[in-house]
Amino acid sequence: MKSILIVTSFLLYVLNITAFGQLDKIKSYEELDRVARKYFETGKVDSAIIVVEYARKKFPDHDEDATSKLNFLCGRTSISKSMENWEYGLKKDTSWGYKA
């Protein structure tokens, strides 16, 4: 029984890595957003963060939306990562048209 659990855990780990390897095949920000939502809704917040970070880099024209979503997600897992994201957003502040 213990060996079945180990093999199952390993296979789930490999499938998760493979899924992240497929992100580069997604061609729109909206599709990546849906993937991140599915991860979030199933309680995989760290996975959702990885997808949104990837989306922010791949689709820079959606930078503001991705940064906002990262603030939401990071606030649930890591204070230091959340602060890094807030700093990033503050540096981008003027390019998004906001005035401090």
pLDDT band at 95 (very low <50, low <70, confident <90, very high): low
Model confidence pLDDT, tens digit, residues 16-37: 544 556 777 888 999 999 999 9
Q: Residue-wise over 27-60: b if at least 16 C-beta within 10 A, else e?
A: eebeebbebbeebbeeeebebbbbbbbbbbebbe
Give me Rg for the CA atoms of the chain.
16
Q: How far apart are CA 10 and CA 4, in angstroms?
A: 10
Average pLDDT, the chain: 76
17 DSSP assignment: H
Q: How far apart are CA 9 and CA 16, in angstroms?
A: 11
42 DSSP assignment: T
Per-domain residue ranges for the chain? 24-95
pLDDT for residue 2: 65
Helix ranges (H only) for the chain are 2-21, 29-41, 45-58, 63-74, 79-91
Higher pLDDT, 59 or 8: 59
CATH for the stretch 24-95:
1.25.40
Percent with pLDDT over 90 in the chain: 20
pTM listed for this prediction = 0.65
